[in-house]
Amino acid sequence: MIPLLATLLLALPGAVPPPLSGQAPLDDAHAPSNSIPEARASLTPDTVLAPPSGPRIVMLGAEGEGVAAMRIFIPLTEGPVEEGAGEVLRDLALARMQGLANLVGARVSASRTPWGLAYEVEGAAADFEYLAYVLRTAVGEPDTAAAALDAALHHLEEAQARARETPDGRLAAELRAAVAPGVSPLEGSAATLRGLDAARIRQVWRRSHQASAMTLVVSSPMVPEVVLAATRGMGAPEAAAAAPPDAPALPDRTRAQVQTLRSWYGEAYGTGPDRDPVAAVTALLLADALNARSADYEVGVELWDLPSRSVLVLTGAAYPRNAERMRRAVSGTMEALRTRLDEVTVRDAAARARADILLDARTPGGLVEVVGRAMEPAGAPDAAARHLEELSRVGLGEVAALIDRMRAQAPVRAEVRP
Amino acid sequence: MRRAYGVTLLVALLFMGMTPFQVMSQEAPDTAAMPGGYRATAWSTHPHGTVVAMVLRIPAGSANDEKGSEGTAALLAQTLRDQARRALGPGHGAVTATVNRGTTLFTFLVLPEVWPRAATLLDSVLYDAPIDDSILDRHRRGQMARLAFESDSPGTEFEAEAARLLAPSGSPWARPVRGTPESVSALSPAILARFRRSLYRRAETARAVVGPRSLLPTSTVALPLPVDSVLADTIPVAVADSQAVRDTVPAPVAALPPEPRVASDTAPGLAWSSGTRVDQVQDVTSTWIRVAYPIARSTSRTAAEMLVTLVHDELDPTPPDPDRYGVQVRLLDVPGGTALVVDATVFPEAAGRWEDKITGTISRLASGPMQPDLFGWRRRRFRTERLLEEASPELEAERMTGDLIGTGRARDLAVEIWSLDAGTVYQAAKELGPPRILRFGPDLGEAHAPVSPDRSGFSRAVPRSLRGYTLTGRTEVARPSSGF
């Protein structure tokens, strides 16, 4: 399943309301939009450590804070026959983490992203060593005993079935296959699922989960020495770097029938490199515009961040009597937005995109998530802070140019009918 | 935790010959622009905080609605919330409003670059700006449509019945929070303006601000004060807004209308002293159960909160009971005090067992202190869960305003949780008053009636006629107090 870094729900506010009578609404006149030192500082790591045996440690000091949060990222590239192995490793690790975290009331999560695997734990700073132990367990050798592995494979099979048999899953899969043909679905396919036995899962773990490849983002009051000591010797034994096997996977011949009462329609546009701030602002504007046009049907705008590229996806779902209107709305939104684009609208959308990031990062767990995710593609510790700053510089010219580029290219289209 | 850390740091710096002023004046923000005049303000910092959370707690809610104008507090808060959003503008933060029976909460999440200007603006919207007729009208129409849609729904009936269970007969506290279609249709800008004029008063409002350290007002700790004063101010207890330090004893909670009280229904230190059991027959597919215990006034808020967690963990473990749809345990401020309230939605066939399970859990916790090791482990979990919850700055600020209204000072939660012991929590459970119980669901006959005696001392295997099962409505059976 392609992860969606930005799913823009169309409950977003539409046009900017007029100023309140008798009140001067806040504007950025006194705070230039590219001058946000506090916001930038809050996403900028205080310390970056790179011990030779790993993991690389990015620290967001939190003196006096009662909560500690840690997120460890492991880059993972699957060979064709391994597709879906990352999802299985994620599932197995999450089960181990949950059991341990429940004992002390900590929170855990695990995610598979296009760049790898991430495990996160958040709890009392006083329990820091225990939280580190939970993470150590997460990145440790997976329990591939039959019961645990069967459960993980069953979850994977369900995810694959959702992508094949639900209309939105099928629409996304078809759009992804057409707009990013080299990018495989993270959940793999029914053909690769059969080959994911205990030996293959352990092999993928050994190759990927070496501490020297990991990046740990920490928000805690602990001094670096404590963090270093708590994380030493994590993961699989160090070995020479190995490439994933390139043996081709068997073709997937699974046939599935999608049951739907509504017509689903989608268009996808390549927008440029991943984490492009202009694409993020444009996605928000398109969501506003599409929402304004929708009536008796459901619409959505998504921004997919994939390795080296981002893809903007517009979708709609309507019962047969409204299907044609829905298709016209999805297809015509780009044009409609372009004709009424102005500087104020773009600036407001950029401010909202920036605010969303800062709101997401307001807890220690949210902070390590925002900083850690931004680091995944290139590993730059200040990637989140830079992204925030870049968002504040997005203007009318950049958005107009991107929309013009997208209008000039024929979008990839997909449709699922009842 | 973070406050204690701050104290340690300051003490260390003082010993090193540095004054707090030298430390804290770095990046000292301009806080003179912050609006003042509030009853009290509490501050707290998050080292890598990305937004400033400000919560204003106004001690007036739906219980203050005039008779015939039910829904005023809710409609006013919705209208002012939207006016505040509009004034804040896009991309500067978020505004929410929550109206309860006794309080109204406004929560602002504001980006650093517009703080503290945003605080001034939002303050003026809430207290001074004209009420916008068009926003009010939009919300009134929406509210009327929702209420009309929900009228006669089992959920609405349960909500009304559950509120009546906790308040003296005829108390305005039990009025519907959002009003009725009729009352809301009659609400005019003048009624809302009158409500705001009389009850939205800064001098009664508690305010809490949680944000990045560089944006907090340092004036209260910037002066080279004697060590004791520095420590006292560094711990973010209530900071009075007036120049003179105010008495920490809170002013009386504002302007609840006088409540008709039944003399025998109150006791010193408890919201009620007599148990009640209500069975209401409804043709629905699940049974809703409310069990509420009054909490002794002598019980500390932190001990009561831990008791809530213990009860919840017992009732809703992982994996959950297959007969339950949902379980919620919480503290609720009710007329005359605070109550521990359990709301459970269960399969009708399991209703009797669940009622026993709820009362049995309380009875067990009140039967003796937990083993120290077990208590230590549960306290550790409780502490972590609370810290994680309050890692959201708006939730920490919300809790602090509750503290300010309740006791005049914001608790240092980490310290208070560590100071809890098994005896304190046992005492809190032991001093709970008699339960008030509401069962709302289909009539399945005696086979599913609860059978075990409860803590109020009367057997609940009562005859059908006394248990209030009727096909047409509600029968209330008052129980004598057990005196425990």
Mean pLDDT by 10 residues, chain A (418 residues): 33 31 48 56 91 92 85 94 94 95 95 96 95 96 92 94 91 92 87 91 94 95 92 82 71 78 95 91 95 85 91 95 94 94 95 94 96 95 95 95 93 93
Q: What is the pLDDT of residues B423-444, one digit of tens each?
A: 999 999 999 999 999 999 998 7
Note the ipTM here.
0.86
- Kindly report the three-state secondary structure assignment for every residue of chain A: CCCCCEEECCCCCCCCCCCCCCCCCCCCCCCCCCCCHHHHHHCCCCEEECCCCCCEEEEEECCCCCEEEEEEEEECCCCHHHCCHHHHHHHHHHHHHHHHHHHHCCEEEEEEECCEEEEEEEEEHHHHHHHHHHHHHHHCCCCCCHHHHHHHHHHHHHHHHHHHHCHHHHHHHHHHHHHCCCCCCCCCCHHHHCCCCHHHHHHHHHHHCEHHHCEEEEEECCCHHHHHHHHCCCEECCCCCCCCCCCCCCCCCCCCCCCCCCEEEEEEEEEECCCCHHHHHHHHHHHHHHHHHCCCCEEEEEEEEECCEEEEEEEEEECHHHHHHHHHHHHHHHHHHHHCCCHHHHHHHHHHHHHHHHHHCCCHHHHHHHHHHHHCCCCCCCHHHHHHHHHHHCCHHHHHHHHHHHHHCCCEEEEECC
Give the domain CATH number at B77: 3.30.830.10
Q: With a CB-CB cutoff of 8 Å, which residues 304-343 of chain B face chain A?
A: 318
Note whether A351 contacts B6, CB cutoff 8 Å. Answer: no
pLDDT of residue B229: 25
Three-state secondary structure call for residue B362: helix
The number of angstroms, rounded, from the C-alpha of A405 to the middle of its chain's C-alpha atoms is 25
Residue B449's pLDDT band (boundaries 50, 70, 90)? low
Residue B455 has pLDDT above 80, yes or no: no
Q: What's the total number of domains in chain A?
A: 1
In a domain, B258, yes or no: no
Closest residue, chain A, to B418 (C-alpha): A126
Is B381–A16 a contact, with Cβ atoms under 8 angstroms apart? Answer: no
Confidence check: pLDDT of B241 > 60:
no
Determine the pLDDT at residue B88. Answer: 93
B292 in the same domain as B222: no
Mutation pick from B24, B388, B396 vs chain A, by most beta carbons of A within 10 Å, is B388
Q: Is B299 inside a domain boundary?
A: yes
Tell me whether A39 touches chain B (CB under 8 Å).
yes
From chain B, the residues in CB contact with A39 under 8 A are: 50, 111-113
Evaluate whether A167 touches A141 at the Cβ level (below 8 Å): no
Q: pLDDT tens across A239-253, in order? A: 766 777 776 776 777
Q: How many CB pairs below 8 Å do chains A and B form together?
A: 173
Q: What whole-number distance in Å separates Cα of residue B60 and Cα of residue B198?
A: 10
Report the CATH number at residue A65: 3.30.830.10
> Is A343 part of any domain?
yes
Burial (CB count <10 Å: 0-12, 13-18, 19+), residue B371:
exposed
Statement to judge: residues B349 and B226 lie in one domain: no
Residues of A in contact with B113 (CB under 8 A): 28, 31, 35-36, 38-39
Residue A19 within a domain: no
Q: Is the dihedral of CA A148, A150, A156, A159 positive or negative?
A: negative
CB contact under 8 A, A122 and B388: yes
Q: Cβ–Cβ of A19/B87 closer than 8 Å?
A: yes
| A16-30, A97-111, B46-60, B135-149: least confidently modelled range | A16-30
* B484 domain-assigned: no
Residue predicted with more confidence, B113 or B265: B113
- CA proximity to A316, closest of A288, A336, A296: A296
Does residue A55 have a cis bond before it (omega within 30 degrees)? yes
Interface of B with A in 448-477 (CB under 8 A): none
| Residue B219 confidence (pLDDT) above 70 | no
Q: Do B90 and A350 touch (CB under 8 A)?
A: no
Work out the angle at residue A317's Cα, subtended by the Cα atoms of residues A13 and A348, and round it to the nearest 5 degrees: 20
Partner B contacted by A281 (CB < 8 A): no
Specify whether B425 is located in the same domain as B296.
yes
How does DSSP classify residue B25? T
The alpha carbon of residue B242 is apart from the nearest alpha carbon of chain A, in Å, by 26
The domain tally of chain B equals: 2
Q: Are residues B392 and B288 in the same domain?
A: yes
The reply to whether A267 falls in a domain is yes
Same domain, B354 and B212: no
Do B150 and B270 fall into the same domain? no
Considering only A404-408, B208-212, B472-476, which range has the smallest mean pLDDT? B472-476
CB contact A25 to B (< 8 Å): yes
Flag whether pLDDT at B371 surpasses 90. Answer: yes
Q: Do B103 and B60 contact (CB within 8 A), yes or no? A: yes
Q: Strands B40-46 and B52-58: what pairing?
A: unpaired
| Number of C-beta neighbours around residue B250 at 10 A | 20
Q: Say if residue B226's pLDDT is above 80.
A: no
pLDDT of residue B290: 97
* Predicted local confidence at residue B414, as pLDDT: 84
Same domain, B182 and B305: no
Decide if pLDDT at B446 tops 70: no
The 10 Å CB-count burial string (b at 16+, else e) for B53-66 is: bbbbbbbbbbbbbe
Q: What's the domain range around A211?
A: 6-14+30-242+259-416
Clarify whether residues B194 and B283 are in a common domain. Answer: no
Q: Say yes or no: A34 contacts chain B, CB-CB below 8 A.
A: no
Whether residue B298 sits in one domain with residue B174: no
> Among all residues of chain B, which has the CA nearest to that of A41?
B48
- Measured between CA atoms, the residue of chain A closest to residue B45 is A65
Q: Which residue of B has its CA nearest to A63?
A: B47
- Residues from chain A that touch B117, judged by Cβ atoms under 8 A, are 26, 30
Which residues from chain B sit within 8 angstroms of residue A64, using beta carbons? 1-6, 9, 45, 47
pLDDT of residue A295: 73
Nearest-by-CA chain B residue for A124: B384
User: Does B402 contact chain A (CB < 8 Å)?
Assistant: no
Q: Test A43 with B9 for CB contact under 8 angstroms.
A: no
Establish if B243 belongs to a structural domain: no
Tell me the pairing of strands B206-212 and B104-110.
Answer: unpaired
> Of all residues in chain B, what percent carry a pLDDT higher than 70?
74
Does a structural domain hold residue A337?
yes
Say if residue B190 is in the same domain as residue B312. no
* B210 and B296 belong to one structural domain: no
Domain carrying residue B201 = 2-234
Q: State whether B463 and B348 are in the same domain.
A: yes
- Say yes or no for a CB contact (<8 Å) between B1 and A126: yes
pLDDT of residue B33: 59
